[in-house]
Structure 1
Amino acid sequence: MRHIFHAILPIIVIVLLNGCFFSTDDDQKWVLEPDGSTAFALSRDGRFALVYSLENHLVLWDLYQDKKLANLGEQDPQAHTVSTIRISDNGRYAVTATQTNFAVWDLAWTQAEGLWSIDDALIVDADVSSNGKQVLLALTNGKAIYVNLETGRRLEFLAHQDKVNTVAISPNGKYALSGGNDHFAYLWDTQNGQVIREFRHKQRVNRVALQRDGKYALTSDVGNDAIIWDLKTGDKISHLHSFSRQLIFSTARFSDSGRLLVTGTPSSRIIVWESQSGDKIDGFETTPKKDTRPPRAVVYDAAFDHKNRVISGTSAGIAQAWKLDD
């Protein structure tokens, strides 16, 4: 018996250290696209979902009412695949992007504000301000581009020395956060392109996020360095605690107050963190698309709703609600 205990003890320790206990018991589930989606975004409160699939193209849902609100259709006449969707902080607008063009949508009127093309590189990521007039793009040529659609003003941020992987814009459109393959993330002013904060990583930065009031930022690389920063001082608040060799995020979002951070991975997992300590406080595993091998789904977006839940949206075309521990 003692030999058996000593044999399994290392396994128990490894499981505990890696935090491998992820709940699969959701509180609610919405199967929006049974054949899967290539892009999926949630409003900040988790109520609205904008989903793209090859079969149905762009569809807007109200999850609270479990109701399809509108079929927005194809983004462009060529029906290029949408790979990125972000909904503005106030939930009114959305930006959708293929690799070569992007569109801004007024979700209240369920119609497009316009379609714009990028011809010097491929679009990797995008974000939109609350007024729907300011868009931020991450490009493969090392540029982060800010565009004011109302005035036509375009600013190219050139501090990155390699591909830009991830961007976030403040709700008022005045500040941008970008991260790239050059191991740097920058907080910068969209009016003049001036760098406000510089965050250095040891590996490629693949995910950034801004707290809506500008208090905090997350910068995360493809290793296991995921750091929450105080934007007013530039000081590190916490390092997300993980024993995994890689901690790669496909999405990240702060709660409204910034007290919590929710992240999603390309391998189905959602983790909720306490911002000040960097400790994991909850974890969930999303439902994969039926009959997929391996049984995994990319978590495209996650948000906190008003019922003390996390809402997730994945490549399986499924939205799920997860009850948080009190």
Structure 2
Amino acid sequence: MLIIRTLLLTSLISLTIACQPHHSDATKQVPHAATGAYDAAISSDGRYSIVSSVEHGVAVWDNQVNGLKFQWYLSEDEQNMVVALDISADSYAAVTATREEFAVWDLESGENLGFYKINQSHIRDIAISNKGRYVMYGRADGVAVHIDLTTGRRIEFLGHQEKINAVALSPNGFYALTGGNDYSAYLWDTRTGQVVYRFNHASRVTQVALDPQARFAFTAGSKKQASIWDLTTGAQHSNLQYIARQKIFSAVRFSDDAKWLATGSPSRELAMWNIDTGERVLDYQVAARANSQPKSAVVFAVAFAENNQLITESSSGLSEYFEIKRKQ
């Protein structure tokens, strides 16, 4: 049963008490989940956050006023946890997914726009286009599915040979980027299913992202390769410069001017990179999750916010703000 509920003042008080700040480089922290989150997404302008947790279902926060706008529940079953989220680039709609089903929501009214169940494999990641018209998800069986929610048209992309780990969708819904355990990422046309570019890696691809203006794509492997690709030519534009032999990225976002890339990791790390050179120009840490041993947190989402800031959502249950101070 689908339920939409607004958060009462008592919920805000309990959140503040439960989410006590832990060491972080943030200039501001706002509690969004009492005992930690399972996943989160932030709108492209940083205004909205949606956070999945056991206590609060999917909580929709308006970051401009630090207030909770809606709570969405897909099921009475606590085990049916939302594990993938996305917000359209125009902040019109959001999509929330469990392993077996997904729902589309109007971000202005909180109204549910559709509830869908899949009957094969399970969802690994999901994305939504502007106006909430198109949804695309990657499955554990290596199939990516693109659906036009207006017409019902459905196309399956069969290019991957193993499970899909990450997906991204262009704002108009016409292009998809998918990365999987087959050491490959594909940029493909959702209208035809045809491959535009294939980006090869030496390890499984764990993260992908698209620049909303269609200038660049980002793909990252589980070993030392995180690349930015020129979507005009398909050539590598730059490679992120880091020493670690293995590095996982759990969040990524292009800046509007396509000069910077922000990333988050499962080890609390927040970083910003020069897109042209691959140089890391900023390093921060988000707050550790309460009672975690060792003290750690996964950065689920990052966005470029107003006033020269980065905003993050992490498994600590906190929304955090970081001042952008680039290296000279």
Partner of 2:96: 96
1:128 is the counterpart of 2:97: no
Structure 1 residue runs without a partner (length 5+): 1-22
SS at match of 2:229: strand
Pairwise CA distance, 1:293: 1.0
Partner of 1:320: 320
Cα separation, 1, equivalents of 2:25 and 2:200: 38
Query: Cα deviations across residues 126-151 of structure 1 (Å, max 9, x unaligned)?
Result: 00001101001010001011011111
Partner of 1:115: 115
Pairwise CA distance, 1:76: 3.2
Cα separation, 2, equivalents of 1:45 and 1:265: 21
Partner of 2:7: none
TM-score (norm 2): 0.90
Partner of 1:267: 267
SS at match of 2:131: coil
Instruction: Spell out the pairing of 1:235-274 with structure 2 (5 A cutoff).
Output: 235-274=235-274
Structure 2 residue runs without a partner (length 5+): 1-22
Indicate conservation of the 8 Å contact 1:26/1:320, yes or no: yes
1:228 is the counterpart of 2:243: no
Pairwise CA distance, 1:24: 3.3
Indicate conservation of the 8 Å contact 2:34/2:55, yes or no: no
Over the matched positions of the two proteins, sequence identity in percent amounts to: 37
How many residue pairs end up in the alignment? 303
Partner of 1:191: 191
- Paired amino acid for 2:87: I
Instruction: Spell out the pairing of 1:63-74 with structure 2 (5 A cutoff).
Output: 63-72=63-72, 74=73
Partner of 2:18: none
Cα separation, 1, equivalents of 2:201 and 2:103: 32
Partner of 1:76: 75
- Paired amino acid for 1:136: M
Partner of 1:143: 143
Pairwise CA distance, 1:34: 2.2
Instruction: Spell out the pairing of 1:27-42 with structure 2 (5 A cutoff).
Output: 27-42=27-42
Cα separation, 1, equivalents of 2:33 and 2:182: 36
Indicate conservation of the 8 Å contact 1:30/1:63, yes or no: no
Cα separation, 2, equivalents of 1:187 and 1:222: 19
Pairwise CA distance, 1:291: 2.2
Cα separation, 2, equivalents of 1:301 and 1:282: 17
CA separation of 1:96/1:196 partners in 2, compared to 1, >3 Å: closer, same or farther? same
Instruction: Spell out the pairing of 1:46-57 with structure 2 (5 A cutoff).
Output: 46-57=46-57
1:180 is the counterpart of 2:180: yes
Partner of 1:155: 155
Cα separation, 1, equivalents of 2:221 and 2:259: 21
Pairwise CA distance, 1:222: 0.4
Pairwise CA distance, 1:67: 1.0
Partner of 1:10: none
User: Higher Cα Rg: structure 1 or 2?
Assistant: 1
Query: Cα deviations across residues 279-299 of structure 1 (Å, max 9, x unaligned)?
Result: 000011110222221111111
Pairwise CA distance, 1:109: 0.9
Query: Cα deviations across residues 142-189 of structure 1 (Å, max 9, x unaligned)?
Result: 101101111111100001111111110000001000011111111000
Instruction: Spell out the pairing of 1:277-316 with structure 2 (5 A cutoff).
Output: 277-316=277-316
Cα separation, 2, equivalents of 1:230 and 1:53: 37
Indicate conservation of the 8 Å contact 1:201/1:221, yes or no: yes
Indicate conservation of the 8 Å contact 2:187/2:196, yes or no: yes
Q: Which runs of 4+ in 1 moved over 6 A?
A: none
TM-score (norm 1): 0.91
Query: Cα deviations across residues 70-124 of structure 1 (Å, max 9, x unaligned)?
Result: 222x113545100111111111111111011111111111121111111111100
SS at match of 2:41: strand
Indicate conservation of the 8 Å contact 1:126/1:167, yes or no: yes
Cα separation, 2, equivalents of 1:154 and 1:222: 31
1:200 is the counterpart of 2:200: yes
1:170 is the counterpart of 2:167: no
Pairwise CA distance, 1:209: 0.3
